[in-house]
Structure 1
Amino acid sequence: MRAEEGFQPTPYVEGNPFTADTVLPSLLKRLVPPSVLSEVDEDLQRFGDVVLTKLRPLSARAEPARLVQYNQWGQRVDDLQTSEGWRGLKAALQEEGMIGIFYERKYKEYSRVYGFAKILLAVGDTQVMFCPLSMTDGCSRVLELMGTPELKRDVIPRLTSRDPNIAFTAGQWMTERPGGSDVSQTETIATPIPNITSPYGPTYTINGFKWFSSATDSDVALALARTGPVSAGSRGLSLFLIPLRRPLFRGPEESAPPALTNNIRIHRLKNKIGTKVLPTAELELNGSEAYLIGPLNQGVKSITPVLNITRMYSAISSVGYIRKALTIATAYSKARTVSSGEQLLKDNPLHVSVLAKVNLLYRALTHFTFSAVALLGKVECGVASEEEELRLRMLTPAAKAFAAHYSSIAMEECMAALGGMGYMEETGIGRLIDDGLVEKVWEGTVSVLSLDIVRATSKRGVVEAFLKWANGVLSACPPPLQTKLSSPISVIRESLPLISAAYKAPVSPLATRPALFLFSHATSSLNLLEHATWSFATQSTSVEVDIEVFRRWVEEGAWGGGLATAAEELKRGLEATIERVAADSKIVYGTEDEAKDAVVELARAHL
């Protein structure tokens, strides 16, 4: 039998990613005022077609970068060659104003919500282009806050430009071999250049080795380097803007010179599990020229705006991967027949129940992430209250960690929903899973981010700001709805004192991770309650679905249970004893390993 003979599968149709979405259009109605919504809604519908007709074909032509270190004469050239698809995606997204939207601020504090809505729709069809764009966004914000007038005049317009012929992208170089996320062990040294004055700031030479530098094809990078003694740890680091190639400013028709022009050598490209089209490299810096950004020896504080923004991009990327995988699985269920061809998958209750669980998670994570995005927009425009600023400090690492943790589980369910077809590369779900896994590591693992929230809550008023907001959401729920949802609302109320107790010093080391999950479950539940309350008040056609989504999320949650299960996990962490720590160590290392005693002694100081 020839391939074209016999049974022929019916192709599934995904449709416009905005108009077909079950969450975003309704969420925007709640978050964005009508005067802004009309323009935003129209542009997102248009952009949905752009995703299908322009971005998706470009994504199909994106290939891994190639590094040619030497030419035929044995000369070092470090020629980084990227694909047509990769360059086309970058140009297309720049034309769409993916960075410009946030700094033009046409819609003021709602510009972040609008721009991140476009990102959500595009993530699944743009490879990992939002990695360099996130760092470009972060670099723009740092220069906006701390750059010299000349940097603001010359560099920010390039970073935020809608013209791909002149637009810059930026990288971020923090990770080194000794420490990974622990930048206190940074080996890279910055040395001031005497008698050199630059309008872009004090000029330094940088010498060191950056182990993980994403977006090596960028124009500039923000990097940490040591300006104080090694004994000062992270307090001896400063932040620098490094041009990757010189001259930094070139005509539109001039090709980019190699990184060697600023004494940067590309040691090798990383061989990663996913994100393969993104050129990530190990870099040698041998006297590279750089400009000091912000105060001397305050590099970690100075780069914080970048981390906050890139973590938000990481969260929205994780949610966007789920959106794309769920869209494929849902469309497939409308086309694929089972039971001797007599039933569509969409009419099979068991199959639909699985898709409903993924959809539930997608809704919770979308509301959770956009609650943080909305606060970011208010903070950047100077209209956030002090309590909102404090709450954002907890939300940012939590949203990133929570979304990254659950995204791969959801995508795997979507893959399985297509059976053998889902395991084929042609569907794209495999690439989504491979690329999405990086979000579990990039900008901090769950454990690292758990400790970051502990640092955030050590500041007076942070937990109190969250509790005040949470109680406000509960109080705003109208009596008829409170009666209908009395059980899940009671679960939320019972979780709040536990969250407060978890972050009282000294914080138990085994409670930090479950505390992040309980906080995230509670916050996302409150976000869904906010939406159900709004839907009830506006008599939305989706009110019954919104109420059911809230109830299910609190009581059932995602894989691993709902809010009550998260509370029990935290209680175990708070009640942990030295004996449990010792047992953990024996399970992992055996009874004779020296690591056991070290782990127990470290825990003894905190428990």
Structure 2
Amino acid sequence: MIGIHPDNQVPELKDYNVYTSDPALCRAVARGGAEWRDAELVRQGAEYGSEATLRAAEDANHYEPELHTHSPTGQRIDFVKFHPAWHTMMSIARRNGIANLPFFDERPSAWTGYGASLYMHSQIESGSTCPTTMTKACIPVMRLNGALYGAVASKLAATEHDERDVPLEQKRSMTVGMGMTEKQGGSDVRTNTTRAVPHGQGPWGSEFLITGHKWFFSAPMCDGHLVLAKTDERGSSCFFVPRWRPDGTKNAIHIQRLKDKVGNRSNSSSEVEFKEAWAVLVGEEGRGIPTIIEMATYTRLDCALSSAGFIRQALAQAMHYTRNRHAFGKALADQPVMTELLGDMALESEAATLLAMDLASHFGSTEPLDVAWRRLMTPAAKFWNCKRAVALTGEAMEVFGGNGYVETGPMGRLFREAPVNSIWEGSGNVMSLDVLRAVSRNPGDVHLVLDHLQDIASQDTTVLAQTQWLRDAIQLPPEQLERQARRFTQRLVLAAQACLMLQHASPEASAAFIGSRFDPDWGPVTGISAGTTDPAALLRAAWQ
């Protein structure tokens, strides 16, 4: 990682192990009981850091998906063509368990192993995580229709990527996407207008024909989608809508256009129209929103993990660059103001990794505290990690100076990827309101979580004061607390991160985190304080 280039230009960070170089991640895997996966994660870490994988990730984003709506003879095909590099990244993601591991490995620690893989994959190529993690998240929803699930379980469990656009029965594996939002409503899915008309009974249960639209439909080349549509005035129902009908004909899902997105450009997101598209009911009729929200809970975890990965990659790139770039007689990393900045970034990365990986470990348990933690901290962790990733990737780009603001370097794509997680599966306001919704609907849960945090915080008066503020806040009238939704969520996350640092980080790092994050000057500008007189020690501990 360290070496002086003759023209003071920094060589690309490549052929390194993304896993073994990340001590916070390695400790999280061991702490989550996933030592059984350690050798595989070492292999994956080498694969993700290899030059070959870096080039495939680069090509997948440079050669963007192409929409082909019709065949040369005029038939609707609604086909999205990808560069081979996209399929390389999809194959890596599938092989590494990101599409299914925690639902087909009964060990609770599989969630920790899964989290580590997603965290690493996101650092290298984020677009391919969209259809892959949606596939994983759909599995418990698909199980609500036993006949359907029985027909496709082996394809969901497969670890091989099958890129062919053919009917499901011919596929070795499958991917599943989601279609919820419409142009007139966005996050307010209760205003959806898409309709489903009964079409009889079949081997997979109640069949329907769907007519309407979806404003964001990711990713259209998935083999099927879970879609919300109304069957009557009672509300929306959840349907599985395959690309191909059971009779072998192409389903009437017409792709109108691919979205021209700021980032996540390797992945195709689209607008679609349904013209009596064949579908089968999943879950209880009229209960579509609660049914599909379970899928969203899992993808919100993925956003928190992925954004923690973005922050880690921003730190890794910034450390590599500043250790190999020299100015005024010494490495940039050794300039005091840069050391302070990097130390602050190292604290942010460790705390984000702890928050996301700890959250993943709670998904493998049904104990009351684990259930309460998931309900409260999933939207909170998504809110915080996703927002911090936007700030930290921008800060890392600035570390590179002009070299960071060119497309030939690594920072442009990382910076453009960061905002999508804050938007996908609910923006910051939606997440902070979901935190308050969890507080009001499950008051026992919030007290369980706060009791747990208070027990840990008892060893530090500053953190203890934060937990007391949270206790006082939940006593406020709902309309008063709602105005403070973002403030409450930020305070909750910082208290949780401080407690996680007290439990699992070094005494030096936890003291630095608490000393900086609860400093009145901390927040608007990264690098104001790393909370320690020896920020270089934080950097030495951040990279193995």
Q: Comparing 218-227 with 41-50, which one deviates more in the overlay?
A: 41-50
Q: How does 1:79-98 map to 2 (within 5 A)?
A: 79-98=79-98
SS at match of 1:11: coil
Q: Cα 1:496–1:557, aligned 2, differ >3 Å: closer, same or farther?
A: farther
Aligned to 1:245: 244
Q: Cα 1:8–1:343, aligned 2, differ >3 Å: closer, same or farther?
A: closer
Does the CA contact (< 8 Å) of 1:241 and 1:292 recur in 2?
yes
Aligned to 2:500: 527
Aligned to 2:119: 120
Q: Cα 1:75–1:40, aligned 2, differ >3 Å: closer, same or farther?
A: closer
Aligned to 2:32: 31
Q: Cα 1:375–1:304, aligned 2, differ >3 Å: closer, same or farther?
A: same
Q: Cα 1:87–1:354, aligned 2, differ >3 Å: closer, same or farther?
A: same
- The alpha carbon displacement at 1:498 in A equals 3.1
Q: How does 1:54-203 map to 2 (within 5 A)?
A: 54-62=52-60, 63-105=63-105, 108-144=107-143, 146-148=144-146, 150-165=147-162, 166-194=172-200, 197-203=201-207
Aligned to 2:448: 465
Deviations 1:215-263 (A, max 9, x none): 111001001000121xx5xxx11000110124599xxxxxxxxxx8111
d(CA) in 1 for partners of 2:42 and 2:85?
Answer: 24
Aligned to 1:347: 334
Aligned to 2:437: 455
Q: How does 1:148-547 map to 2 (within 5 A)?
A: 148=146, 150-165=147-162, 166-194=172-200, 197-229=201-233, 232=234, 236-247=235-246, 261-339=250-328, 342-378=329-365, 384-459=366-441, 460-475=443-458, 482=459, 485-486=460-461, 488-502=462-476, 504-532=477-505, 542-547=506-511
d(CA) in 2 for partners of 1:52 and 1:186?
Answer: 43
- The alpha carbon displacement at 1:507 in A equals 4.5
Does the CA contact (< 8 Å) of 1:311 and 1:400 recur in 2?
yes
Q: Cα 1:261–1:314, aligned 2, differ >3 Å: closer, same or farther?
A: same
SS at match of 1:202: strand
Does the CA contact (< 8 Å) of 1:415 and 1:429 recur in 2?
yes
Aligned partner of 1:101: which letter? Answer: L
Aligned partner of 1:261: which letter? Answer: K
- The alpha carbon displacement at 1:193 in A equals 0.8
Gaps of 5+ in 1: 250-259, 379-383, 476-481, 533-541, 563-607
- The alpha carbon displacement at 1:513 in A equals 2.1
Q: Cα 1:415–1:240, aligned 2, differ >3 Å: closer, same or farther?
A: same
Does the CA contact (< 8 Å) of 2:436 and 2:482 recur in 1?
no
Aligned to 2:538: none
Q: Cα 1:317–1:514, aligned 2, differ >3 Å: closer, same or farther?
A: same
Deviations 1:23-51 (A, max 9, x none): 2122333332xxx42x3222222111111
d(CA) in 1 for partners of 2:363 and 2:6?
Answer: 55
Q: Which has the higher contact order (CA 8 A, sep 6+)?
A: 2
Which of 34, 41, 49 is residue 38 of structure 2 equivalent to? Answer: 41
d(CA) in 2 for partners of 1:338 and 1:219?
Answer: 53
d(CA) in 2 for partners of 1:311 and 1:489?
Answer: 26
SS at match of 1:288: strand
Does the CA contact (< 8 Å) of 1:219 and 1:248 recur in 2?
no
- The alpha carbon displacement at 1:474 in A equals 2.9
Pairwise CA RMSD of aligned residues?
2.3
d(CA) in 1 for partners of 2:521 and 2:439?
Answer: 25
- The alpha carbon displacement at 1:427 in A equals 2.1
SS at match of 2:308: helix
Q: Comparing 201-210 with 88-97, which one deviates more in the overlay?
A: 88-97
d(CA) in 2 for partners of 1:91 and 1:454?
Answer: 39
Does the CA contact (< 8 Å) of 2:474 and 2:481 recur in 1?
no
d(CA) in 1 for partners of 2:138 and 2:504?
Answer: 33
d(CA) in 2 for partners of 1:467 and 1:8?
Answer: 51
Q: Cα 1:151–1:407, aligned 2, differ >3 Å: closer, same or farther?
A: same
Does the CA contact (< 8 Å) of 1:364 and 1:553 recur in 2?
no
Does the CA contact (< 8 Å) of 1:360 and 1:553 recur in 2?
no
The number of residues matched between the two structures is 508
Aligned partner of 1:200: which letter? Answer: W
Does the CA contact (< 8 Å) of 2:470 and 2:488 recur in 1?
no
Aligned to 2:166: none
Q: Cα 1:414–1:119, aligned 2, differ >3 Å: closer, same or farther?
A: same
Aligned partner of 1:227: which letter? Answer: T
Does the CA contact (< 8 Å) of 2:97 and 2:117 recur in 1?
no
Deviations 1:59-105 (A, max 9, x none): 12212110122344444433321111111111122122222321222
d(CA) in 2 for partners of 1:529 and 1:143?
Answer: 40
SS at match of 1:48: helix
Does the CA contact (< 8 Å) of 1:368 and 1:524 recur in 2?
yes
Deviations 1:537-585 (A, max 9, x none): xxxxx443344334433447963389xxxxxxxxxxxxxxxxxxxxxxx
SS at match of 1:78: strand
Q: Cα 1:331–1:104, aligned 2, differ >3 Å: closer, same or farther?
A: same
Does the CA contact (< 8 Å) of 1:99 and 1:137 recur in 2?
yes
Greater radius of gyration (CA): 1
SS at match of 1:501: coil
d(CA) in 2 for partners of 1:79 and 1:467?
Answer: 50
Aligned to 2:168: none
Q: Cα 1:513–1:209, aligned 2, differ >3 Å: closer, same or farther?
A: same
Does the CA contact (< 8 Å) of 1:244 and 1:262 recur in 2?
yes
d(CA) in 2 for partners of 1:376 and 1:92?
Answer: 24
Residue 559 (str. 1) matches residue 523 (str. 2): yes
Q: Cα 1:493–1:238, aligned 2, differ >3 Å: closer, same or farther?
A: closer
Q: Cα 1:529–1:551, aligned 2, differ >3 Å: closer, same or farther?
A: farther
